[in-house]
Amino acid sequence: MSSPKTDVDEFRKILNGANRILALCGAGLSVASGLPTFRGAGGLWREFESTSLATPEAFEDDPGLVWLFYAWRRHLALKAKPNAGHYALAELAKKKENFLCLTQNVDGLSPRAGHPESAIRMLHGNLLDITCYNKCGYAERNATRDPVCPSLAAAAEDYPPGQLSPLLDPSVDLATIKPEDLPQCPDCKRRGKTSLLRPGVVWFGESLPDGMLLEVDNWLYKDPVDVMLVIGTSAAVYPAAGYTNKAKRRGAVVAVINPDPQAKSGLDGKDFFFQGGADEFLPKLFEDVIGKLKIPDTAPLTEA
Ligand code: BV8
Please list every protein residue whose CB sits less than 6 Å from any atom of ligand 1. Answer: 26-28, 31-32, 37-40, 54, 104, 106, 124, 201-207, 232-234, 236-240, 257-260, 263, 277-278
The per-residue pLDDT for 41 is 65
Q: Backbone dihedral region of 148: left (phi > 0), alpha (psi from -120 to 50 degrees) or beta?
A: alpha
Q: How far apart are CA 24 and CA 31, in angstroms?
A: 16
Q: Are residues 130 and 168 in the same domain?
A: yes
State whether 230 and 278 are in the same domain: yes
CA distance 176 to 161: 27
pLDDT reported for residue 130: 98
Cα(237) to centroid of ligand 1, in Å? Answer: 3
Longest dimension (CA), the chain: 65
Domain count across the chain:
2
pLDDT at 301: 66
Neighbouring C-alpha atoms within 13 Å toward the C-beta of 152: 24
Angle subtended at Cα 246 by Cα 240 and Cα 263, rounded to the nearest 5 degrees = 60
What confidence score (pLDDT) does residue 304 get?
44
Query: Do 163 and 45 belong to one domain?
Result: yes
75 catalytic residue (yes or no): no
Closest atom of ligand 1 relative to the 37 alpha carbon? 60
Query: For position 303, what pLDDT does the model report?
Result: 46
Question: 226 and 301, same structural domain?
Answer: yes
Q: Which of 24, 35, 38 has most ligand 1 atoms within 8 Å of CB, for mutation?
A: 38
The candidate with the shortest Cα–Cα distance to 77, out of 199, 180, 203, 233, is 199
Q: Are 201 and 127 in contact (CB under 8 A)?
A: yes
Given 201, 230, 246, which residue is the final one in a domain?
Answer: 201
Q: How far is the CA of 66 from the centre of ligand 1 (A)?
A: 18
Residues 134, 106 share a domain: no
Summarize pLDDT for 33-74 with one digit per residue, the tens.
Answer: 999 998 766 677 988 988 999 999 999 999 999 999 999 999
**Which one of 178, 201, 224 terminates a domain?**
201
At 63-110, the pLDDT tens digits run 999 999 999 999 999 999 999 999 999 999 999 999 999 999 999 999
Instruction: Using DSSP bridges, classify how beta strands 125-132 and 139-140 pair: parallel, antiparallel or unpaired.
Output: antiparallel
| Domain identity same for 180 and 284 | no
Are 229 and 255 in contact by the 8 Å Cβ rule? The answer is yes
The CATH number covering residue 268 comes to 3.40.50.1220
% pLDDT > 70, the chain: 97
Could you tell me the distance, in angstroms and rounded to a whole number, from the CA of residue 43 to the centre of ligand 1? 12
Work out the mean pLDDT of the chain and round it to a whole number: 95
Whether 297 shows a pLDDT value over 90: the answer reads no
**For residue 167, pLDDT beyond 80:** yes
Q: Could you tell me the residue range of the domain that residue 292 belongs to?
A: 1-35+83-124+209-304
Atom of ligand 1 nearest to the CA of 125: 2
Considering the domain architecture, whether residues 271 and 150 belong to the same structural domain is answered as no
pLDDT at 260 over 90: yes
Confidence band (pLDDT; 50, 70, 90) for 298?
low
> Strand, coil or helix: what is 253?
strand
The verdict on 216 and 261 lying in the same domain is yes
Q: In whole angstroms, what is the distance from residue 217 CA to residue 215 CA?
A: 5
13: CA distance to ligand 1 center in Å? 31
Measured distance CA(241)–CA(20) in Å, rounded: 19
Verify that 131 and 97 share a domain, yes or no: no
Domain check: are 55 and 169 in the same one?
yes
Note whether 192 and 168 are same-domain residues. Answer: yes
- 3-state secondary structure at position 273: strand
| DSSP codes of every residue in 81-123 | ---HHHHHHHHHHHH-TTEEEEE---S-HHHHTT--GGGEEET
Residue 101 shares a structural domain with residue 12: yes
Task: Compute, in angstroms, the gap from residue 236 CA to the centroid of ligand 1.
Answer: 5
Residue nearest atom 56 of ligand 1, based on CA coordinates = 26
Residue 130 belongs to domain with CATH number: 3.30.1600.10
At 192-243, the pLDDT tens digits run 999 999 999 999 999 998 799 999 999 999 999 999 999 999 999 999 999 9
**Domain final residue pick, 174, 201, 228:** 201
Query: Distance between alpha carbon 163 and the CA centroid of its chain, in Å?
Result: 27
Please give the radius of gyration of the chain, using alpha carbons only, rounded to the nearest integer: 20
Q: How confident is the model at residue 2 (pLDDT cuts 50, 70, 90)?
A: confident
Task: Considering only residues 149 and 302, tell me which one the structure prediction assigns the higher pLDDT.
Answer: 149
Ligand 1: residue of 50, 237, 284 to mutate (most ligand atoms within 8 A of CB) is 237
Task: Of 19-23, 164-168, 216-220, give the lowest mean pLDDT range.
Answer: 164-168
pLDDT of residue 300: 60
Residue nearest to atom 73 of ligand 1 (CA): 28
